[in-house]
Amino acid sequence: MIKRNGGFLISKIHQVSGRIFNRILQQEGVIEINSAQGRILFALWEQDGIPITTLSKKTMLERSTLTGMLDRLERDDFIIRKPSAEDRRVLLIYRTDKDRFFQRKFKRISERMCDIFYKGMNEEAIERFEDDLAHILDNCIEEEKKNG
């Protein structure tokens, strides 16, 4: 049997890239946000004013984990929670002006991370790589749904 290291490599990439991302955040003067919180804000940049359940699906974070992170983001004025006009029991998560300022800084940070990730790769290789990663993610989501 051929030894496969894909999962192990993905885990290592996640750890190392998280450290690099946090270092770049500090270099850019963004000390209030970590990489996991950045993932939440990124999801809100794509769609603002969404319920926690939608945000949980977009970020792949468990709702219990997400709630604590949202508490901190709200405390630090990156997000606000407002009741939905349609259903007052549902809280919607909205961006703030502080987050909009952060988004501009994050664009530079994101470009630096992409330069690191894709160094030495041509467009075709990048496309294939991202397609393969999306396929692996889909496989994992499908398996998670079957067993959980």
What span, in angstroms and rounded, lies between the C-alpha atoms of 74 and 92? Answer: 12
pLDDT tens readout for residues 57-95: 999 898 889 999 999 999 999 999 999 999 888 999 999
The pLDDT value given to residue 103: 87
CB 34 within 8 A of CB 73: no
CB 76 within 8 A of CB 64: no
Give start and end residues of each alpha helix (H) in the chain: 6-27, 35-46, 52-59, 63-75, 97-117, 123-147
pLDDT tens readout for residues 30-57: 877 877 788 899 999 999 999 999 999 9
Q: Tell me the whole-structure pTM to 2 decimals.
A: 0.73
pLDDT tens readout for residues 100-139: 888 888 888 889 999 999 999 999 999 999 999 999 999 9
DSSP state of 54: H
Residue 35 vs residues 1, 39, 65, 71: alpha-carbon distances, Å: 37, 6, 14, 16
What span, in angstroms and rounded, lies between the C-alpha atoms of 29 and 146? Answer: 43
